[in-house]
């Protein structure tokens, strides 16, 4: 029987039994007035250990949460007033692994998880999340610039950004049929000059490319009766369907015929 790749560390298999917990409302800190319908007041601010809070939320909110954003300890080596951000690496992995599992249980099928980290533990967190969510549900990394220049705490490289790992509980097209759209600079947007019938922006790009991985050789009959043979990542059926719908086109220049396809703005 084959074995899958996994990240291991000291203490990974140590069982962690967490007893069921309940949340107790502090009426003195509540913003719910006597005239409010408590059944419609779902917002909560929970004070306490986040692992115990996740356990308490599990009973009522398992598979019910659509979006989770977390900003866990970076394990940067600093000591802050409220917590120590310099714990042994294997302990950090154990702490995050347990919490990631609870977060997975809370997410509904079309839910998304955003995990904010820097370079210290980013790669290890991704492996943990790959094991829990599955690699196919990894959406990508969002990069945000946290400052201009590296600052005085830079050791070797002037690092000016953090990462936000994005995972879907189920990234299949049936659950998330829409494209993941990101903001781009005006300079980048200039190339998307065309607009389709739905108002989506695109540009025409050459279909053939050198150095493709797993290229598909296709041959198309041109309007003058000649044959155009290229290597593509699209199948012949996809190309022929694109020619019929207008998403692929044949153009002729002094160098001969060329196939172009629409590349949409994400």
Calpha distance 192→178 (Å, rounded): 19
Specify the DSSP element, H or E, that contains 263: strand 256-264
In the structure, what pLDDT confidence band is assigned to residue 149 with cuts at 50, 70 and 90?
Answer: low
Return the domain boundaries, the chain: 27-31+41-168, 186-264
Calpha distance 184→189 (Å, rounded): 7
What pLDDT score was predicted for residue 147?
75
For the ranges 81-85, 159-163, 164-168, the one whose mean pLDDT is highest: 164-168
Q: What is the 3-state secondary structure (H, E, C) of 171-202?
A: CCCCCCCCCCCCCCCHHHHCCCCEECCCCCEE
Helices and strands of the chain, counted as H and E runs = 5, 12
Question: Cα-flanking dihedrals φ and ψ of residue 189, to 5°?
Answer: -70, -20
Least confident of 40-44, 130-134, 211-215: 211-215
In the structure, what pLDDT confidence band is assigned to residue 127 with cuts at 50, 70 and 90?
Answer: very high
Q: Considering the domain 27-31+41-168, what is its CATH architecture?
A: 3-Layer(aba) Sandwich (3.40)
């Amino acid at each position: 029987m084959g074995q899958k790749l996994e990240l291991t560390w000291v203490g990974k298999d140590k069982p962690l039994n967490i007893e069921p917990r309940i949340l107790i409302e502090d009426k003195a800190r509540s913003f719910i007035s006597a005239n409010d319908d408590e059944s419609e007041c779902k917002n909560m601010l929970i004070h306490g250990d986040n692992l115990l809070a996740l356990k308490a939320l599990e009973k009522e909110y398992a598979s019910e949460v659509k979006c989770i954003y977390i900003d866990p300890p970076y394990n940067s080596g600093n000591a802050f007033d409220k917590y120590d951000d310099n714990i042994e690496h294997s302990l950090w992995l154990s702490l995050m692994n347990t919490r990631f599992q609870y977060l997975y249980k809370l997410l509904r099928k079309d839910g998304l998880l955003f995990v904010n980290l820097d370079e210290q533990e980013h790669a290890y967190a991704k492996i943990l999340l790959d094991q829990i969510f599955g690699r196919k549900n990894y959406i990508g990394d969002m990069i945000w610039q946290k400052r201009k220049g590296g600052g005085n705490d830079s050791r070797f490289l002037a690092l000016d950004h953090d990462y936000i790992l994005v995972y879907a509980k189920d990234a299949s097209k049936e659950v998330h049929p829409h494209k993941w759209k990101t903001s781009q600079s005006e300079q980048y947007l200039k190339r998307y000059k065309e607009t389709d019938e739905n108002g989506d922006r695109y540009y025409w790009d050459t279909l053939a490319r050198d150095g493709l991985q797993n290229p598909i050789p296709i041959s198309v009959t041109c309007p003058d009766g000649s044959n155009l043979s290229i290597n593509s990542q699209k199948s012949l059926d996809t190309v022929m369907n694109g020619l019929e719908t207008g998403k692929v086109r044949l153009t002729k220049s002094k160098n001969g015929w060329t196939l172009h396809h629409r590349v949409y703005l994400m």
